[in-house]
Structure 1
């Protein structure tokens, strides 16, 4: 539920977005609030709170509040299981606290991404990539690192895959796409201009398009034939760029391994020859 709220937040009208912010900032307080109290905290009306509940998939505030209470209870159990007093990092945390909290958030991001991932969409992306005569992967910033990771993995098993770093090179490469090719774009928000532009152009040229994003209602998702959604949560010291990376890399691994399975014989052969090719660059045990 909380994942859905975070994903819906960027697309909500301003007044409803304030309600979402109040809920996500202090879930426990929101669970104990009446509809009028929640409206006051969000600086809006009770009618807006009801509209917000309906927008995110509930019949009204009562149903929303019950589901929110269940989500809060599950989160408390997860925190206790991980030995974390509360999820946010604060200035008094020592090294042990910081390590536990980051490990908790990153493990949770992977678990929620895996649980909520549309497996039919994953299989559609896998089929397109496995059959493609060429593949581009677009991303900038932290998402650009994810793009590079996917391109390296697919190239190593014999697929023709590029991840242009420069935004002009992304557009130039997208312009050369055609039927039988695949373009993948990575963006946490789904609103980063460069990957949206490149994916839009590749699609116009006839490529099958895949988006990896935390926002299924974003411009990037609207441009893609297939959307693979992550479930990453921002915290004070972990911005979108940091919190998205681990979830994006998990999706990359899901996609890569399924593609490798589809091309099992070719993958096995490619991994063997590429392994042998770099052995001369490895130092012998005991050498300095």
Structure 2
């Protein structure tokens, strides 16, 4: 696929846990549907055995003014997918393409620009995550430190709790949790926020509770609703979003940051070969 289309599906997925049982039934229909049909409120209500008022409430929970606005975008971006795939290679590439399309639908360029400004102003940056998210946190540290950011990554739960004590208004803290449920990550964000630090949560789950202790909730696509999500690295959607932030941050004082990057590259190339023992 050589183009990207705005889709309502990742928005539905990120809000899925906020829905009632009836609304989850509506959500499942729009997520799983693969054919064009009459999407009018009356037709869908009859098909799903729900009221038109339920469709309206569902649409509003997704951030739309009403069902009409929701279904207009759904119809505009509806892409009929071919179910027959030949080979694992094509299947994996199609899933990656779907994730890229979902990232395009979720990314908020104004929000990314804000986060890049937070990075530019912060005296110290911390990024934390557990498991595969911890590996992504380490990757973020390695990339941003090469262009002059004073950044550290934390993957240990005890260190997250201890580091929370030292946060202040000069710090910026990134927490990475796809599920939005990692207790240690949320603890660090809450404590850092109380101490005046800027906080950013990277997650696939949208929850109003996050707004209480996060300056920014950066949504990424979820693998949960993909037919073959279990064969895709959970790091991929996180890395894509971090690359977008990196590109925005690099644009601020681009020459200086590219010079720093080149200097670190030269420093690595000058490393003396180890002597044979």
- TM-score normalised over the length of structure 1: 0.78
Alignment counterpart, residue 83 of structure 2, candidates 61, 83, 86: 86
C-alpha distance in 1 between matches for 2:105 and 2:55: 28
Offset, 1:18: 2.5
C-alpha distance in 1 between matches for 2:61 and 2:131: 32
Change over 3 Å in CA distance of 1:51–1:158 after alignment to 2: closer
Listed one character per residue, the Cα deviations across residues 3-54 of structure 1 (whole Å, up to 9, x for unaligned) are 2211221111222122212332334388576412212xxxx66654453344
Alignment counterpart, residue 249 of structure 1, candidates 230, 239, 264: 239
Equivalent runs, 1:49-198 vs 2, <5 Å: 49-56=55-62, 57=64, 59-60=66-67, 64-65=70-71, 67-72=73-78, 75-76=79-80, 79=81, 85-86=82-83, 95=87, 98-198=88-188
C-alpha distance in 1 between matches for 2:104 and 2:192: 28
Change over 3 Å in CA distance of 1:50–1:158 after alignment to 2: closer
C-alpha distance in 1 between matches for 2:69 and 2:119: 41
Aligned residues: 261
- TM-score normalised over the length of structure 2: 0.80
Query: Which residue pairs with 1:286 in the alignment?
Result: none
Alignment counterpart, residue 238 of structure 1, candidates 213, 220, 229: 229
Higher relative contact order (CA 8 A, sep 6+): 2
Offset, 1:162: 0.9
Query: Which residue pairs with 2:33 in the alignment?
Result: 26
Judging by fraction of residues, say which structure has more helix. 1
C-alpha distance in 1 between matches for 2:65 and 2:121: 41
Alignment counterpart, residue 45 of structure 2, candidates 35, 39, 51: 35
1:223 lines up with 2:213 in the alignment: yes
C-alpha distance in 1 between matches for 2:121 and 2:89: 42
In 2, are the aligned partners of 1:137 and 1:164 still within 8 Å (CA)?
A: yes
Q: Which moved more, 1:209-218 or 1:183-192?
A: 209-218
Q: Is the partner of 1:235 in helix, strand or coil?
A: coil
Offset, 1:244: 4.8
Offset, 1:202: 1.2
Q: Is the partner of 2:202 in helix, strand or coil?
A: strand
Change over 3 Å in CA distance of 1:51–1:257 after alignment to 2: closer
C-alpha distance in 2 between matches for 1:54 and 1:94: 39
C-alpha distance in 2 between matches for 1:173 and 1:276: 33
Offset, 1:225: 0.7
Q: Is the partner of 2:201 in helix, strand or coil?
A: strand
Offset, 1:183: 0.4
Q: Which moved more, 1:215-224 or 1:105-114?
A: 215-224
